[in-house]
Amino acid sequence: MLARLIATSAAALALAAVAQPAAAQTRIAVGEQSGATLNAQSPKLADGSYYQCWVVEARGQPITIDLMSGFFDTFLVVGTGSDCGDSMTAIAADDDSGNNTNAQISGTFDVPRLLIRANAFNAGEGGNYWIKVTAGLPEVEERLGSMDALPQVTSEWGTETYVCAGAYRAMGELKQYVGRYGNVASIDYAARDRQVSGRLSTGEAGSADFMSSALALEALNGFIDDKPQNVASYLETVAACDRAYGFNPVTRYR
């Protein structure tokens, strides 16, 4: 990785080797790149992972934030509050939307002071890293979020009876993958399937089975091909069906 190649000449690049105290916040401007180090002297989150806190004043313009390292799996969180610790109010988070295990978040953040948490994904990991803030959104394909914070999408499917029966049936295969989103794990989708399926006509029974397979495939391909929009589309279909049939709706976000 680029960050690892850069790190071989760390002395010449003068990366910050001394960790800052938990309350320290380093300013970074739009258009600036800076290096630092996560180590045993860095502040920790409740999960045991090291982090450092950066602050940018984006002034409502679109920006892209990159967190890069060849020494640890990066995890990037932006939000608001007084500190980047566990009490920070997160707006967006990303694990690996950058190349390899690098993280990237882009968007327009209408807050005067945006906190940036440069974090290691795993407890105890550390090393040199680079953080970069650039004006504008990526010029590559549109970023559609990550599995940690699913993007907002509009489902292509409606709320016809066979669609909703299929969406609930697909959950039997998908719940182990999507159970971490909102209240998914606490909902009995088999019971919802039975209630909705009772309204199916004879000709719609086969269509419900087809929809179940199609929706399960769509969501699973999202995990396989790293397309969080596919997972979001499936959960949005489930949520729309919940609302249409008077159920407590699924919440997509953790």
In the predicted model, is pLDDT for residue 69 greater than 60?
Answer: yes
What number of H helices and E strands is found in the chain? 6, 9
The per-residue pLDDT for 191 is 95
In the predicted model, is pLDDT for residue 142 greater than 60?
Answer: no
The per-residue pLDDT for 126 is 93
Go through the domains of the chain in sequence order and give each one's CATH number: 2-135 (2.60.120.380), 161-244 (no CATH)
- DSSP states along 170-193: HHHHHHHHHTTSTTGGG--HHHHH
Residues 6+ apart with CB under 8 A from 188: none
Per-residue pLDDT, averaged over 51-67, amounts to: 92
Query: 151-173, pLDDT tens digit by residue?
Result: 888 888 899 999 999 999 999 99
List the alpha helices (DSSP H) in the chain.
2-7, 10-13, 161-178, 189-197, 204-224, 228-244
The per-residue pLDDT for 8 is 29
Where does the pLDDT of residue 144 fall: very low under 50, low under 70, confident under 90, or very high at 90 and above?
low
